Structure 1
Amino acid sequence: MDRALQLVFSRYAVDPAHLALDGFSDGASYALSLGLGNGDLFSHLLGFSPGFLAPAGQVGRPRIFVSHGTADRVLPVERCGRVIRDQLRGAGYDLHYREFAGGHTVPSEVQAEALAWWLG
């Protein structure tokens, strides 16, 4: 992770104090898990329809955005999104949780909300 970030920072103008990690579905689970263990590197984490959290540890206090569809049949919100919401809130993270009417997807309005949240 450190080498990849060094390469990116050497080639692009990136604000290392405002760095996000995001993903959808299993990618969201991985982004949240990796980001929680590297919260000193990532200021923001975004998870769209994640299924689980499995951080190796918890470092730092990144701000977190999680969205989940109420009709998700792949990763049901009752077993996934809401459980993750409760875990993150219980651990004291600054969490923006957004449920929407829909399935296993990321609607454009949720994408726009997440981007505005991260940039705001």
Structure 2
Amino acid sequence: MAPSDAEDAAEDGHAAGRIAIPAAPPPPGTPWPLPPGLHPLGLGGGRDGLLRVPAGLPPDRALPLIVMLHGATGDAARTLRRLAPIADSALILLPESLGRSWDVLEGGYGPDIARIEAALARILAAWPVDPHRLAVAGFSDGASYALSLALMNGGLFTHALAFSPGFVAPMRLEGRPRLFLSHGTEDAVLSIEHCSRRLVPKLQRAGYPVIYREFAGGHTLPPEIAVTALAFLMAAREAD
């Protein structure tokens, strides 16, 4: 295939929400390429993203990976604060959308898919990631995008963690990722009645394994919900 044909095929795949599955990550015990802490992704452009390397995890074990997506007008740093209670329990990849929100809300899948794909390829080439604990997560618009990406890329993502999602918009379906959704009963931004209480039954009827948690509160991610979501991710691995 000529380079231009390959590029066209990749663009068509991105427009359909497809993320190319990278090569298998290196084995557990591979030295970590970066120390614990925050590091820029280095994707270029005005908006980039962050990689949060955990402190305190055994270096000889495979790392859970959480790809965490921000809400509308959000960024990586603010979104990471929402995961503070679990930040040292997984490798956390925090890409940033090119626009105010993710591409599906600004004209269609494509540009942000390509950047997430590029970031994942870098991470999975260098880090000993556990392929059984590879979650895409998000808050608000990021939760909607995470759910959509998981349903379209179930051969890559084993789990989706959706905190206060508004919708799901897959272009196609692939695999059966495990799903965790949460929503505040007093959410004034994305109504629980019009969002998660409609989404969850539809996902269950479609055959997806779903864990759903409601909490007393608004449009937020309480620390205890983040901890519960991490337990869901880790417990699923223990059962494999």
Query: 1:77 is matched with which residue?
Result: 192
Q: Which among 203, 227, 232 is matched to residue 112 of structure 1?
A: 227
Superposition TM-score, scaled by structure 2 size:
0.49
Task: Provide the C-alpha distance between the structure 1 equivalents of 2:133 and 2:228, rounded to a whole number of angstroms.
Answer: 17
The equivalent residue for 2:41 is none
Q: Distance in 2 between matches of 1:49 and 1:119?
A: 21
Tell me the residue number matched to 2:205: 90
Q: Which has the higher contact order (CA 8 A, sep 6+)?
A: 1
How far off its partner does 1:6 sit? 2.4
Map 1:1-120 to 2 at 5 A.
1-2=19-20, 3-4=117-118, 5-120=120-235
Aligned letter for 1:40? Answer: G
3-state SS, counterpart of residue 85 of structure 1: helix
How far did 1:20 drift? 0.3
Gaps of 5+ in 2: 1-18, 21-116, 236-240
What stretches of structure 1 of length at least 5 have no aligned partner? none
Q: Deviations over 1:5-46 (max 9, x none)?
A: 221111111122321000000000000001100011010001
Superposition CA RMSD, Å: 1.0
Report SS of the residue matched to 1:16: strand
Q: Tell me how many residue pairs correspond in the alignment.
A: 120
| Whole-angstrom CA distance in 2 between matches of 1:87 and 1:33 | 13
Q: Distance in 1 between matches of 2:173 and 2:205?
A: 13
Runs of 4+ in structure 1 over 6 Å off: none
CA distance in 2, matches of 1:53, 1:10: 29
Measured in 2, the distance between the counterparts of 1:70 and 1:100 equals 6
SS of 2:132's equivalent in the other structure is coil
Q: Distance in 1 between matches of 2:133 and 2:231?
A: 13
* Bigger radius of gyration among the two: 2
